[in-house]
Chains A and B, each alone.
Chain A
Amino acid sequence: AQSVTQPDARVTVSEGASLQLRCKYSYSGTPYLFWYVQYPRQGLQLLLKYYSGDPVVQGVNGFEAEFIKSNSSFHLRKASVHWSDSAVYFCAVSAASNTNKVVFGTGTRLQVLP
């Protein structure tokens, strides 16, 4: 069965700084990988998705993530964060053999200091 580990429960950065949120997945086959964001008192919204092809995936609002199969990782990056990026970020995985079951990590709460 697939699983996701997000090792950092909280990350604090200053506005304008670069950002990396870590995600490692566990699945022996071909994964579908997602990053979602949750703003306060809202549901989750998709930031980006890796399905196949170019391992660097571009998402909304300047976010990108890189699929590194050898490391089972799918870290989220942003070159310069804004205070409005403060939110909870979730990494998720589904298996190519059963794309309908989507498993989420524990989330990373990002605080951007002005």
Chain B
Amino acid sequence: EAAVTQSPRNKVAVTGGKVTLSCNQTNNHNNMYWYRQDTGHGLRLIHYSYGAGSTEKGDIPDGYKASRPSQENFSLILELATPSQTSVYFCASGEPGGNTGQLYFGEGSKLTVL
């Protein structure tokens, strides 16, 4: 079973502060993803990556940066956090193509911006 670990699991930040959410996967997947989950919006894709050194914009990238320094690690960075970024963030890794490919999700990071 693929292992995706997120940290921190809970974070309270102040408006204008910098927040970094970290994600680690141990299954050598090329692709990694950051989604946010909000009531009424489901999961929305923020950034994703094809491998170390690459980042791609998802559907809602504004206000977020991503960093993929290695195959195992993928970070989501909020340089100037705002209350509208209060949400639950999920990291995923996987190879969704082909007959059996899928994404594996972490347990989520709850961010509250005051």
Chain A residues in contact with chain B, CB under 8 A? 6, 9, 32, 34, 41-46, 49, 51-52, 90, 94, 99-107
Interface size on B, as a range, is: 20 to 34
Q: Residue of A at shortest CB range from B102?
A: A46
B43 touches A43 (CB 8 A): no
Q: Which residues of B contact A49 (CB under 8 A)?
A: 99-102
Number of A-B contacts (CB under 8 A): 66
Chain B residues in contact with chain A, CB under 8 A? 4, 31, 33, 35, 40-45, 48, 50, 56, 58-59, 90, 92, 96-103, 105-108
Q: Residue of B at shortest CB range from A104?
A: B43
A104 touches B90 (CB 8 A): no
Q: Shortest CB–CB separation between residue A46 and chain B, in angstroms?
A: 5
B108 touches A43 (CB 8 A): yes
Cα distance, A75 to B105, chains bound together (Å): 23
A sample of 14 cross-chain residue pairs with beta-carbon separation below 8 angstroms, ordered by A number, consists of: A41-B107, A41-B108, A42-B108, A43-B4, A43-B90, A43-B108, A44-B92, A49-B102, A90-B43, A94-B96, A94-B97, A99-B98, A102-B45, A106-B40
